[in-house]
Amino acid sequence: MRAAVIGLGVEGKKAVNSLLKHGWEVYATDLNIDVDLSGLDLPILAMNRIDEKQTVSIVGENITVDLGFTNSYAIEECDAIAFSPSMYGGSFAEKLLEKGQLLSDVLDRHKGIFTIGITGTNGKTTTVHMLKNILEDAGRKVLVGGNGGGGFSGYYDLILEAEEGDYDVLLVEVCDMTLDFADYCFDFDMVGLTNMGNDHMDVHKTVANYKNSLVRFFKNKTIFTAFNQDFNSDFKEAANHTIPYFAYQDELKLVGKFNLLNAGLATAIARELKVPKDVIFSSLSNFKAVEGRMDVYKINDAKVYIGKTDNSDALASVLTENDFYALFIGTPRRNETHRLEILDVAAKYNPEVIVLFPGLDDTLDIAIYRLNSLGYMGNIITVNTLDQIIELVAEYSHEDAIFIGGNGQEIIIEIQDRIKQISEKL
């Protein structure tokens, strides 16, 4: 079988890797010649630079990659196509859908599996893993995946894995930017909404637009929303059945009131699926933080809170948990100016120190300018290496609390691993 992957962003690269893993031949293309190919599971390839400024072809045994152009004949020769979720709704994608060539149409075994989607701005990954643990403890065979940005292997990987395995439940993390795409690819029986926060406004533009996307996504489905969620009346009108959930009442090993709501959502879905109360309680009482998500470690006198918090609502929810002496903030990509709003929250909190480090990109200059323009009067420090971060953590470790977060999941996981090692030795 041969597949075409169109667009080599996060989802596209994950699709390439998954297709190769499942034995497919792959033709991959991106009109951007400067696309980042890191993370692609590519063999040693022969590169044919057709034009130094415009096009590049990379050819391997089971894969061809064209950058700067697209070979329409190569696409026509493929059995299935995987395009970037961001292309959904465009004229090119619509033509492909009319032909029934999308991978989710060619391989459709996943559509016969009971499918639960978890979407929202914050808490999706944690909620998905909570629900996975509960269902597996209840004896269900669960396939988990979805949103590549959440650390999974992408939507297409789920489709490929479902084709080969035998599962009771398909559990999908759905990014709020890919709602329409996911709705096309999967037949959702239930959908849970964690929350609506201030993120991806470069795509949504307004909260009203985001709400309208959710309304379309919820249409004729069984949905779970927080009892006090904004726009609940709109969601209820669109859905087939609406079930409210509340904050979890028992203790968790996780930090934060926000995680009590995540557990409340997982519990509500599990109860609807007739999972016994004792199984839910046992599973959640033993649940530990997902790698890269908010966790707390003790370093000398300080509690070190660390986890990805790449939007202003996520950061604000954590800062209510303690009195932080220092905030370590990973910076966003240059084109993601909306994520600089985490610095507005940091400055308003007014810690003694704000430490800036490159998260998704080295935008330290932009972050410093933002903090100065906000009138932040504390100490601003910039660092570029993990060792520098650890040195400052040690310096501040006799204060009550330190926060490390912001943008850059991979580097935050790296910092978290080092902090955990130090904490376990003390």
Residue spans of the domains in the chain: they are 2-105, 108-285, 295-425
Measured CA to CA, the distance from residue 409 to residue 266 in angstroms comes to: 23
Q: How far is CA 197 from the centre of its chain?
A: 14
Task: Say what the pLDDT of residue 300 is.
Answer: 96
Question: How many other CB atoms sit within 10 Å of the CB of residue 363?
Answer: 24
Task: Say what the pLDDT of residue 46 is.
Answer: 53
Task: Say what the pLDDT of residue 53 is.
Answer: 59
Residue 199 φ then ψ, to 5°:
-150, 160
Q: How far is CA 150 from the centre of its chain?
A: 2
Task: Say what the pLDDT of residue 58 is.
Answer: 85
Token pair listed for 264: 């409340």
Provide the sign of the torsion angle of the four alpha carbons 282, 286, 290, 296, taken in this order. positive
Task: Say what the pLDDT of residue 112 is.
Answer: 96
The CB-side HSE value for 393 (13 A sphere, CA atoms) comes to 27
Measured CA to CA, the distance from residue 151 to residue 327 in angstroms comes to: 24
Which residue bears the tokens 């297409």?
Answer: 156
Which residue bears the tokens 């507005």?
Answer: 344
What are residue 174's DSSP bridge partners? 119
Encode burial over 187-223: b for 16+ CB neighbours within 10 A, e otherwise. Answer: ebebbbbbbbbbbbbeebeeeeebeebbbebbeebbb
Residue 119 φ then ψ, to 5°:
-130, 180
Which of the four CATH numbers 3.40.50.150, 3.20.20.120, 3.40.50.300, 3.90.190.20 does domain 295-425 have? 3.90.190.20
User: Do the beta carbons of residue 193 and residue 127 sit within 8 Å?
Assistant: no
The total number of residues shown for the chain amounts to: 426
Q: Which residue, 394, 374, 378, is CA-closest to 386?
A: 394
Token pair listed for 11: 């989802």
Which residue bears the tokens 């650890």?
Answer: 390
Give CA separation, 271 vs 78, 115, 127, 251, 418, in Å: 44, 16, 15, 18, 38
User: Do the beta carbons of residue 291 and residue 416 sit within 8 Å?
Assistant: yes
CATH C-level class of 2-105: alpha beta
The C-alpha torsion from 346 through 376 and 378 to 386, rounded to 10°, is 50
Task: Say what the pLDDT of residue 399 is.
Answer: 97
Measured CA to CA, the distance from residue 363 to residue 371 in angstroms comes to: 13
Strands 25-30 and 2-6, sheet pairing: parallel
Task: Say what the pLDDT of residue 45 is.
Answer: 52
Parts of the chain with a pLDDT under 70 = 41-53, 149-150, 199-202, 204
DSSP 33: T
Task: Say what the pLDDT of residue 207 is.
Answer: 86
Task: Say what the pLDDT of residue 39 is.
Answer: 80
Task: Say what the pLDDT of residue 363 is.
Answer: 96
Superfamily of domain 108-285: Mur-like, catalytic domain (3.40.1190.10)
Q: Which residue, 361, 323, 322, 364, is CA-closest to 343?
A: 364
